[in-house]
Amino acid sequence: MGSYKFILSGGGTGGHIYPAIAIANELQRRYPDAEILFVGAKDRMEMEKVPQAGYKIEGLWITGIQRKLTLKNLLFPIKLISSLMRANSIVSKFKPHAVIGTGGFASGPLLKMATVKGIPCVLQEQNSFAGITNKLLKDKVKKICVAYDGMEKFFPKDKIVKTGNPVRSDLVGLKAAKSEALSYFELSANKKVLLVLGGSLGARRINQLIADHLAYFEGLGLQIIWQCGKGYYETYKAHQSENSKVHAFLNAMDKAYVAADFIISRAGAGAVSELCLVGKPTFFIPSPVVAEDHQTMNALSLVEHDAAIMIREKELDSKFKTEFESVFASTEKQEELSKNIKALALPNATSDICDEIEKLIQ
């Protein structure tokens, strides 16, 4: 048997790209001479992030269907046909032993063509509410790796394997010492720390909330590590102070997690999986504008286990302080949230997904 070949496809957002990269890294570790190719959507962020991670990527000319009648929608059938032809040619030329799709527009045409050619395909669904691409592919693929219970309402039961979502390897068993993490962010060891995360692009409503409550947090004796996002940094950098550290982006995510006592975050699937491993009291403020409102579903699946607090954007004005104080004032509540969120962590996700891929190619 020569060396294995794998195609990974997924993109549009970090939530689809980072799991694909984590899976590729693990396959490369197991099969050092494997050939790995990524397929993404032209002019989406995967075209930049994948080469940075050291992998080759081919782009398809594809976009999603907009919810209203636009020029993009009129072009959609043409783009779809073009992408199917391109995907067909990529698969025929590369001849992969297996294809892995992590969601996003590009994975649709690629996995469709791979299944037509009888190549074993694996889907990785990050959310508790299945995405449209994955639902369309469910009958043709061999295995579907999921992160939540109850996914048989979207997928055939006999294909589902609960693995969890791949997370960055530096977050499994966080190593950094608390004192080192605090000094990295120039924070005091005598005060509690609130970490604020709006996703890789930042979140307007979360940023407004923090800006409006800076005096309130100061009154509680809290220090803040605030990741506001690249697009918002110019607006919020003026709030930089001894107690409030404003960052466009956090490169040392592991240190930020170690320093934190409380976390406010969006509820993208990747963030939720990471925060289960981190195990700190967490307040989720789901983005209301994502497809199928899946961030709310992701957060609710933790709330059901008393593992996190969720506050919807439209309820922030009426509920934020009450909800925050109910946790801040009670050590018992903090310990309960930490224990319950940790119990939901699936730290071996990447390895378990690669085990499923191995079974198919052997």
Does residue 12 share a domain with residue 124? yes
127 in a known ligand binding site:
yes
- How does pLDDT run across 10-47, given as a tens digit for each residue? 887 777 888 999 999 999 999 999 999 999 988 888 89
Does residue 203 share a domain with residue 146? no
202 in a known ligand binding site:
no
CA atoms of 127 and 334, how far apart (whole Å): 26
- How does pLDDT run across 297-345, given as a tens digit for each residue? 999 999 999 999 999 999 999 999 999 999 999 999 999 999 999 999 9
Q: Are 315 and 288 in contact (CB under 8 A)?
A: no
> Using 50, 70 and 90 to split pLDDT, how confident is the model at 107?
very high
Identity of the residue numbered 264: I
Does residue 142 share a domain with residue 221? no
15 in a known ligand binding site:
yes
Does residue 141 share a domain with residue 105? yes
What is the phi/psi pair of residue 117, to 5°? -85, 5
Does residue 207 share a domain with residue 150? no
200 in a known ligand binding site:
yes
Does residue 175 share a domain with residue 115? no
- How does pLDDT run across 164-184, given as a tens digit for each residue? 999 877 777 777 789 999 999
- Give me the CATH number covering residue 231: 3.40.50.2000
| pLDDT, position 68 | 60
- What mean pLDDT, rounded, does the chain reach? 92
Does residue 198 share a domain with residue 142? no
Which structural domain range is residue 288 located in? 170-343
Does residue 324 share a domain with residue 179? yes
Which tokens is 274 given? 């990471």
CA atoms of 5 and 98, how far apart (whole Å): 7
The total of structural domains in the chain comes to 2
More confident residue, 32 or 289: 32
Q: Are 8 and 35 in contact (CB under 8 A)?
A: no
CA atoms of 131 and 290, how far apart (whole Å): 11
Does residue 192 share a domain with residue 89? no
Does residue 34 share a domain with residue 160? yes
Q: What's the predicted TM-score (pTM) here? A: 0.86
28 in a known ligand binding site:
no
251 in a known ligand binding site:
no
Does residue 190 share a domain with residue 339? yes
173 in a known ligand binding site:
no
